[in-house]
């Protein structure tokens, strides 16, 4: 039996006490500290949540009027408690218990922390080793080029390591005993210079190879992320802001690229350098070498203690950064609305607050890092002072040479370089892993709309049928309820009803932007789930209420629906949409560049271009979602005439709030509360004096008042 569980974490006396309530498909509640003893939703008038200071409670009001508290919970469980109540209330109102296939998670089941908005994984509990392994696995196609670059980097490091050896021989064998002549000194210094110059040249070649590979890797990673965003369902996209998606595709992929490039590059170089230097120093004087490492365990212990703090702080900084970016994106996108309402100062204040919050948390993190980093650096550098002290003591006692001490002090820089790199690594890794989690979450997400193994891409002819369709963006909050409807081939149907009754949802299901929770949508007898979404969208023309045009030319916007369209087809489509005349009046005609979303042209002109874009596909099915909403009366009349020609031979579904525009429809479908309540022509429905009649009368009164 399917059940839905709500896990709470407080007892009735507010002590920590984990427990669970469950709701099954028979509409029965079980569990809780005060057991409902099989309490049925049919006995409940309402289930609700009361939130207090730091805690909340879930209660039910029975039909007899009595109230009953089922459990208490901390505020981290507030959202899940609300979802649980919605399930109960829907069952109480309809008698049907709809248990979601997948429970929506709001908090991490492992650590109890709430998920970051727009994410369904916890950045604290993600498998970090697996995450890094997968990230480095993305570099496999570039492995040959990386190995060549690493070989050059290794050669460069070895050449750099020759310089301290030359210094030792120069001091001990020539300068201190004053043996040899100027020629010998010149040869050694020349060898040092040659090793250094050659090392720099090889390093430059290695860097160029690394950077070229990194650029290609970043491009591939961005394309992978963008490709997946395009393939995500509308349900997934609606959970995230455009700003968040843009950041994941652009900034987070670049952060991953920088980390893998620098970590992969320098990790190998530092490991090789560290290994070679340690080997040389151990053979030179193992006691002095061990002294150099005395403070390292203490520094590593301190680093491990601060790692968790650093991760939490940078996660908080990422949240603030994401928030400020989302606000900025919304303000810029809606700048016309902002200016129209004179809300510039309010929006400036909103962004200033978000920016200040980001600055505060960033400053706090930098202050902490400025405190931790120097302390750890000093700790790792204590060994250098030990080497100088005991090395100097050995020179004074005659057991140590000046050249060996110089060699040690120069090589210690090569030892502490990797150690200091490791100390600063957590800060770098925390930022990179946050980006990895966000990008991989997108890449791993399964789309709700899936294509079958053998899609039936039949011609979209025949009747359109909605058979027992129930759908809600959450299954227990249905917008459409057991709706059945048949639209004959070639018929024009007008869909009317009050706002929120499911008109646009009906269109979304026909476009298969969503799949029904129950029932099916069929065209010519074929279930849409058996078709390829691409085939379906290629054969349905749509004009949405919110017209969107891309920044570019008018011509480019028209052929967006049919990239291989001939110029003659473009002109014919624009004439049919009554757009050709206004296009020819522009300075560059069809090559006129319009701004983003067509802001340089009027709303009516944008709407006509959108209609032309739908027409050029020559679709089997035409959807008009408020297609004439932005047109004046004169233009609307011309458009209605052209639409009358277009709908011949096509199955057409039209949504309009201005009911007069649907008079030419073969039938009108009236929706109310998610169901079909009236079907008929304009005249027939007026005679019934039902919901449609009331809508028409209300609209006529509004028109009279406006005039």
At 499-510, the pLDDT tens digits run 888 888 999 899
Q: Is residue 693 scored above 60 in pLDDT?
A: yes
* 20-74 tens-digit pLDDT: 898 988 888 888 766 666 788 889 988 888 888 778 899 998 988 888 889 899 8
The pLDDT, as a whole number, for residue 424 is 66
Contact status, residue 647 vs residue 628, Cβ threshold 8 Å: no
Fold of 3-94: PH-domain like (2.30.29)
Task: Name the maximum alpha-carbon separation found in the chain.
Answer: 121
Q: Is residue 521 scored above 90 in pLDDT?
A: yes
Contact status, residue 269 vs residue 154, Cβ threshold 8 Å: yes
- Sheet of strand 464-471, all strands in order from the earlier edge strand to the far edge: 480-487, 464-471, 518-523, 526-527
The pLDDT, as a whole number, for residue 33 is 62
Average confidence (pLDDT) over 272-291: 81
Cβ neighbours around 16 below 10 Å, total: 8
Q: Is residue 355 scored above 80 in pLDDT?
A: yes
Measured CA distances, 342 to 78, 353, 665 (Å): 36, 19, 42
Q: Sorting pLDDT into bands at 50, 70 and 90, what band is 487? A: very high
Average confidence (pLDDT) over 98-104: 69
Average confidence (pLDDT) over 651-673: 82
Q: Which two tokens stand for residue 614?
A: 């739908």
pLDDT above 90 coverage of the chain, percent: 6
Q: Is residue 299 scored above 60 in pLDDT?
A: yes
DSSP summary character for residue 504: H
DSSP 3-state percent helix, strand, coil across the chain (nearest 5): 60, 15, 25
> Which one of 353-357, 548-552, 605-609 scores highest in mean pLDDT?
353-357
Beta-strand relationship, 621-625 and 651-655? parallel
What residue spans define the domains of the chain?
Answer: 3-94, 128-444, 449-539+653-689
Residue with more model confidence, 706 or 512: 512
Threshold 0.85, pTM exceeds: no
The pLDDT, as a whole number, for residue 703 is 64
Q: Is residue 486 scored above 90 in pLDDT?
A: yes
* 149-167 tens-digit pLDDT: 888 888 888 888 887 777 7
> Which one of 330-344, 441-455, 479-493 scores highest in mean pLDDT?
479-493
Q: Sorting pLDDT into bands at 50, 70 and 90, what band is 590? A: very high
Q: Is residue 92 scored above 70 in pLDDT?
A: yes
The pLDDT, as a whole number, for residue 678 is 92
Residue with more model confidence, 90 or 629: 90
- Average pLDDT in the chain: 81
55-64, 276-285, 633-642: least confident range: 633-642
Look up the CATH superfamily of 449-539+653-689. P-loop containing nucleotide triphosphate hydrolases (3.40.50.300)
Q: Sorting pLDDT into bands at 50, 70 and 90, what band is 128? A: confident
Average confidence (pLDDT) over 477-487: 86
Look up the CATH superfamily of 128-444. ABC transporter type 1, transmembrane domain (1.20.1560.10)
Q: Which two tokens stand for residue 489?
A: 């081939």
Q: Using DSSP, state whether 50 is helix, strand or coil.
A: strand
Interior CA angle at 119 toward 434 and 18, to 5°? Answer: 105
Average confidence (pLDDT) over 447-473: 81
The pLDDT, as a whole number, for residue 695 is 86
């Amino acid at each position: 039996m399917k059940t839905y569980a709500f896990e709470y974490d407080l007892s009735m006396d507010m002590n920590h006490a984990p427990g669970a309530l469950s709701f099954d498909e028979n509409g029965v509640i079980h569990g809780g500290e005060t057991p409902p003893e099989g309490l049925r939703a049919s006995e409940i008038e309402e289930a609700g949540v009361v939130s207090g200071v730091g805690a909340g409670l879930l209660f039910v009001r029975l039909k007899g009027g009595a109230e009953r508290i089922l459990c208490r919970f901390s505020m981290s469980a507030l959202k899940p408690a609300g979802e649980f109540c919605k399930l109960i209330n829907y069952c109480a109102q309809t008698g049907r218990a709809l248990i979601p296939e997948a429970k929506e998670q709001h908090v991490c089941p492992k650590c109890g922390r709430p998920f970051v908005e727009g994410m369904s994984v916890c950045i604290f509990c993600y498998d970090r080793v697996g995450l890094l392994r997968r990230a480095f696995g993305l570099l496999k196609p570039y492995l040959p080029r990386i190995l060549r670059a690493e070989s050059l980097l290794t050669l460069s490091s070895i050449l750099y390591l020759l310089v301290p050896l030359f210094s030792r021989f120069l001091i001990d064998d020539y300068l201190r005993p004053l043996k040899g002549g100027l020629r010998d000194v010149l040869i050694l210094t020349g060898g040092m210079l040659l090793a250094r110059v050659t090392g720099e040249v090889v390093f430059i070649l290695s860097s160029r190879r690394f950077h070229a590979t990194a650029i290609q890797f970043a491009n591939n990673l961005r394309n992978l992320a963008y490709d997946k965003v395009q393939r995500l369902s509308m349900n997934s996209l609606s959970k995230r802001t455009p700003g968040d998606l843009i950041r994941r595709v652009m900034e987070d992929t670049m952060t991953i690229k920088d980390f893998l490039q620098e970590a992969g590059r320098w990790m190998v170089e530092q490991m090789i350098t560290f290994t070679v230097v340690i080997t040389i120093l151990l053979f030179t004087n193992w006691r002095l070498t061990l002294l150099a490492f005395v403070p390292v365990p203490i520094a590593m212990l301190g680093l491990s203690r601060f790692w968790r703090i650093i991760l939490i702080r940078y996660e908080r900084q990422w949240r603030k950064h994401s928030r400020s970016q989302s606000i900025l994106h919304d303000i810029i996108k809606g700048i016309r609305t902002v200016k129209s309402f004179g809300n510039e100062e309010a929006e400036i204040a909103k962004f200033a607050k978000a920016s200040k919050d980001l600055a505060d948390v960033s400053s706090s993190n930098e202050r902490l890092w400025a405190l931790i980093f120097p302390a750890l650096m000093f700790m790792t550098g204590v060994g250098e002072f030990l080497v100088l002290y005991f090395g100097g003591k050995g020179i004074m006692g005659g057991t140590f040479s000046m050249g060996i001490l110089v060699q040690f002090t120069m090589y210690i820089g090569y030892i502490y370089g990797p150690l200091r790199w490791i100390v600063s690594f957590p800060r770098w890794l925390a930022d990179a892993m946050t980006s990895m989690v966000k990008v991989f979450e997108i890449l791993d997400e399964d789309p709700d709309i899936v294509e079958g193994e053998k899609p039936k891409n039949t011609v979209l002819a025949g009747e359109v049928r909605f058979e027992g369709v129930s759908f809600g963006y959450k299954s227990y909050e249905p917008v459409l309820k057991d709706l059945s409807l048949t639209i004959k081939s070639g018929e024009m149907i007008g869909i009317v009803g009050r706002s929120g009754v499911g008109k646009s949802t009906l269109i979304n299901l026909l476009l298969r932007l969503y799949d029904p929770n129950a029932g099916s949508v069929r065209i010519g007898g074929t279930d849409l789930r058996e078709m390829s979404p691409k085939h379906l969208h290629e054969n349905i023309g749509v004009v949405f209420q919110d017209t969107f045009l891309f920044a570019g030319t008018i011509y480019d916007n028209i052929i967006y629906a049919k990239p291989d369209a001939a110029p003659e087809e473009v002109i014919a489509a624009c004439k049919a949409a009554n757009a050709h005349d206004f296009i020819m009046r522009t300075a560059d005609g069809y090559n006129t560049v319009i701004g983003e979303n067509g802001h340089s042209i009027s709303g009516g002109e944008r709407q006509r271009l959108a209609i032309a874009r739908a027409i050029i596909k020559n679709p089997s099915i035409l959807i008009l979602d408020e297609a004439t909403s932005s047109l004046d009366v004169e233009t609307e009349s011309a458009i209605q005439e052209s639409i009358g020609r277009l709908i011949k031979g096509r199955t057409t579904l039209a949504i309009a709030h201005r009911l007069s525009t649907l008079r030419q429809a073969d039938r009108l479908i009236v929706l109310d509360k998610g169901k079909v309540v009236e079907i008929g022509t304009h005249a027939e429905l007026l005679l019934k004096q039902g919901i449609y009649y009331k809508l028409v009368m209300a609209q006529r009164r509004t028109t009279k008042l406006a005039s």
